[in-house]
Amino acid sequence: MGMTMTEKILARASGRESVKPGDLLLAKVDFAMGHDLTIPPASKIMREQMGATKVWDPERLAVVQDHFQPAKDSASAALGKTTREWAREMGITNYFEVGDGGICHTVLPERGLVLPGELVVGADSHSCTYGALNNFATGVGSTDLACVLSLGELWFRVPETLKFVYHGRLQEWVEAKDLILTVIGQIGVDGARSKAMEHTGDAIQHIDMEGRLTMTNMAIEAGAKNGIIGFDQVTADYLKDRAKRTYSPVESDPDAEYEKVFEFDVSAVELSVAKPMSPDNWAPLSEVVGTKIDQVFIGSCTNSRIGDLRRAAAILKGRHVHPSTRLIVTPSSTETARMAEREGLIRIFMDAGATWTASTCGACLGGHMGVLGEGEVCLSTTNRNFPGRMGHPKALVYLANPVVAAASAVTGEITHPGEVLSREPVAV
């Protein structure tokens, strides 16, 4: 019997020739990640409950200061301090301080730390992002991370795999974000609960690595254990001069079994939004055009990489944010910010009246630098819009791609990007 990519990775990591859905196994982790919210409790469990005095491999762990950093108050400063001191004590090779890293789910792929064929865990639910690079990546809690820190291994249940086959080419303006919102809108936020989401088909060849990372990032929004994409030339090109280790890609066998197969003609996918208050509350953009907004947020591990910023800046160049709306732009990493500076994108955003922030999770989780008040409406490029996610539980959040976000910032209401580009830019 053949195996899927996910099954092959778990078989290799557990030292088995084959595995099947439902198998319980103890598997060796290839790489792990923790950040300023999850390292403090994990390190405490590691020391006080497990009695461990060092990590299993300081070169196979990344520690990133990204959630409440730069510190927004004394409590977040204490978390950053604990994380910083522990990383130094443990001799963590891949430690990313404020100003050197950014959002963990951009930093790890960007630095070539998560690679094809590997088993990766991160103490953050969006660790499934890394599966775009042909690995099994999943989020774990701080207790599980403590086990990995101490032992380098963890128990796993082999998930059933759902196969998503995409055909054709995306239309103008339509992006990977619209595609994954459409998928989640169809299957629901629990439609892939504890399962693997395998993305394949000829359409994937035409989606760049940034778009693929967006798709696997939102696997958790469908309840999935992991998202994964096959290795191809796009993957190889992305990893060239990046990969920190040798790697062995995997592909699903022709006779691999899937719990269910979904087929999509991506040429039929529309510009999409997720309406409040759930990522599966899908609607075509046309349904919500004209909705007044107080804030636009272009940021997060989902959609604030350099390509996202380039496309948003192209809409904003020569234009200005509407006087009733504020635009917050948060690059997903320090390297992204450097590229944006070299390309003149920061100047475009600031000339348009946007606020440019440090590379941090920030407003996405209602942490800082963009928290919403009661009754405020935000159009966001993030991954979640549950009640209270970005601030007050009565704030309303719509999810969309960065081009729609930029266009809407100009008009002060949810807007098709073509509508903005049809207007003449004004001097600013």
DSSP letter (8 states) at residue 158:
P
Is the fold of 1-158 the same as that of 161-240+259-269? no
For residue 241, the SS3 value is coil
Here the tokens at position 91 are: 């001799």
Is there a contact between 379 and 400 (Cβ–Cβ < 8 Å)? yes
Q: Which CATH fold would you assign to the domain 1-158?
A: Aconitase; domain 3 (3.30.499)
| DSSP element (H, E) containing 26 | strand 24-28
Beta sheet of 326-329, edge-to-edge order: 282-284, 272-274, 396-399, 377-380, 295-298, 326-329, 355-356
Contact present, 65 and 36 (Cβ < 8 Å): yes
- Strand positions, DSSP E, 74-170: 94-96, 119-122, 136-139, 153-157, 161-167
**Residue 376 is encoded by which pair of tokens?**
């405020």
Q: State pTM to two decimals.
A: 0.97
HSE-CB of 304 using CA atoms within 13 angstroms: 35
Q: Dump pLDDT digits (tens) for 219-266.
A: 999 999 999 999 999 999 999 999 999 999 999 999 999 999 999 999
Residues with Cβ < 8 Å from 11, sequence gap 6 or more?
A: 3, 17, 18, 19
Full DSSP string of 216-236: HHGGGGGT-SEEEE---HHHH
DSSP 8-state secondary structure symbol assigned to residue 127: G
Q: Tell me the C-alpha distance between 232 and 236, whole Å.
A: 6
**Any idea where the domains of the chain sit in the sequence?**
1-158, 161-240+259-269, 272-421
Query: Could you tell me if 124 and 105 are in contact, meaning their C-beta atoms sit under 8 angstroms apart?
Result: yes
Phi/psi at 96 (5° precision): -120, 110
* CATH 3.40.50.620 is held by the domain 272-421: no
> How many other CB atoms sit within 10 Å of the CB of residue 118?
24
- pLDDT tens per residue across all 428 residues of the chain: 899 999 999 999 999 999 999 999 999 999 999 999 999 999 999 999 999 999 999 999 999 999 999 999 999 999 999 999 999 999 999 999 999 999 999 999 999 999 999 999 999 999 999 999 999 999 999 999 999 999 999 999 999 999 999 999 999 999 999 999 999 999 999 999 999 999 999 999 999 999 999 999 999 999 999 999 999 999 999 999 999 999 999 999 999 999 999 999 999 999 999 999 999 999 999 999 999 999 999 999 999 999 999 999 999 999 999 999 999 999 999 999 999 999 999 999 999 999 999 999 999 999 999 999 999 999 999 999 999 999 999 999 999 999 999 999 999 999 999 999 988 776 44
pLDDT in tens, 193-226: 999 999 999 999 999 999 999 999 999 999 999 9
Q: Which CATH superfamily is domain 161-240+259-269 in?
A: Aconitase, Domain 2 (3.40.1060.10)
Q: Residue 190: which region, alpha, beta or left (left: phi > 0; alpha: psi -120 to 50)?
A: alpha
